[in-house]
Structure 1
């Protein structure tokens, strides 16, 4: 049986895509570059090209890798393939917005749980993301801290070790994420209870996130962070 929401001590979070609207951040920046060049960019096409470029064998750490990604996708989008625009796309991460419900939901959840960020982004970018979200995290793990990216189990093992250092275990964790590929599938394999935040519930496809080989049915499923926070508060009222 799925554990009750009141049974957990920690909520671990994917950040980019679950809490931070990276798709909007990328497509908005590309649209600005396109407008200056007298071009028009289709957002879903841009995300499809981004996804293919981002997950190539020569990919670097995110979001520094956006410089390389831009130079790969720009010709296909009819945009000027100049490094300065790639650097602009990378630097746009400093101003990416949280989803409208993210900060408020995290503030509500922080009253009940210890919130841990688990992001494939670099530390410099995470600091901007955390500030945008109201700095709600008890602890944060980035690609710079783990030297690997989800869905590598080694990323999760770093978090498990931290939780164990506090006298707790993975059974005390609810893992919250939007990516089936990076988070939901592997969290199931590692024995975690998980919660899928289906951010693209009103859109087709996987957008800028790689498509999983198979779909993993989550333990909990909401289409927003507000939905999770509401469910937690209802569970406390019972």
Structure 2
């Protein structure tokens, strides 16, 4: 572990899954469609099917891709394979909520660090997520801005270039995320300090996030954003 928490100047954040509870948002929408179709849907099964479909080779950018994903998995869930429901799943992103501790934690951290969002979501969706989180970010990078999605190193290198232009380096960054696949593994390979927020610590499996080929032990590990902010406060004290 190269630095203590107070020594970092930037904290970069994955957004969907770390700060925004997309799994609850998806399960709620699936449940509503199922109720209208008078069928029962298991939320975790829906997430498993979503995960497999989301990472297909013909995937579109997120969350626009939810239309295609819905049409691919609806028959397996016993749901109507209708375009309008796919669009409804996509549009549900407009109402996804932050985790209960996200906004308050970000507000606390913003007092001591430059917070940078790094999201695979498109700009239109991120703008809504950012508002939900209280607009805490110093800078923001979306899939539209970088032209790619994590874990592509290009996404991270775009942020490194931004930080370098401000006279700093990746050594000044702590990357905070819940996805081992999209963030923790690749950040380690790129020599970036990282912090794993294990949102599913009380649940089995990887839910809606693709399973990594191998587990990466993070530099810092908490089960909530509140845990991170408490650790920062203790270290600064």
Calculate the TM-score normalised by the size of structure 1: 0.99
> Which residue pairs with 1:227 in the alignment?
227
Instruction: Find the residue that maps to 2:157 and give its secondary structure.
Output: helix
Q: Displacement of 1:2 after TM fit? A: 3.6
Structure-1 residue corresponding to 2:35: 35
Match of 2:168 in 1: 168
1:72 aligns with 2:72: yes
Q: How far has the Cα of 1:60 moved from its partner?
A: 0.3
CA distance in 2, matches of 1:95, 1:112: 29
- Partner residue in 2 for 1:148: 148
Question: Deviations for 1:174-201, whole angstroms, at most 9, x for unmatched residues?
Answer: 0000000000000000001000000000
Q: Deviations over 1:69-107 (max 9, x none)?
A: 000010000001000000000000000000000000000
- Mapped to 1, the partners of 2:21 and 2:2 lie a distance apart of 29
**Secondary structure at 1:60 match in 2:** coil
Aligned to 2:89: 89
Over 2 Å off, 4+ runs: none
Pairs within 5 Å for 1:94-109:
94-109=94-109
Q: After the TM superposition, which residues 203-218 of structure 1 pair with which residues of structure 2 at under 5 Å, given as runs? A: 203-218=203-218
Superposed CA deviations along residues 213-237 of structure 1, whole A, max 9, x for unmatched, are: 0000000000000000000011111
Q: How many positions carry a matched residue from both structures?
A: 237
1:150-186 CA distance string (max 9 Å, x none): 0000000000000001000000000000000000000
Residue correspondence of structure 1 range 1-12 to structure 2 within 5 A: 1-12=1-12
C-alpha distance in 2 between matches for 1:196 and 1:228: 10
How does 1:117-156 map onto structure 2 within 5 Å?
117-156=117-156
Deviations 1:10-42 (A, max 9, x none): 000000000000000001000000001101110
SS of the equivalent of 2:44 reads: helix
SS in 2 for 1:24: helix
Q: Distance in 2 between matches of 1:10 and 1:40?
A: 45
Counterpart of 1:189? Answer: 189
- Cα distance in 2, alignment partners of residues 133 and 41 from structure 1: 30
Residue aligned with 2:205, SS? coil
**TM-score when normalising by structure 2:** 0.99
Q: Which residue does the alignment assign to 1:24?
A: 24
Q: CA shift at 1:63, angstroms? A: 0.2
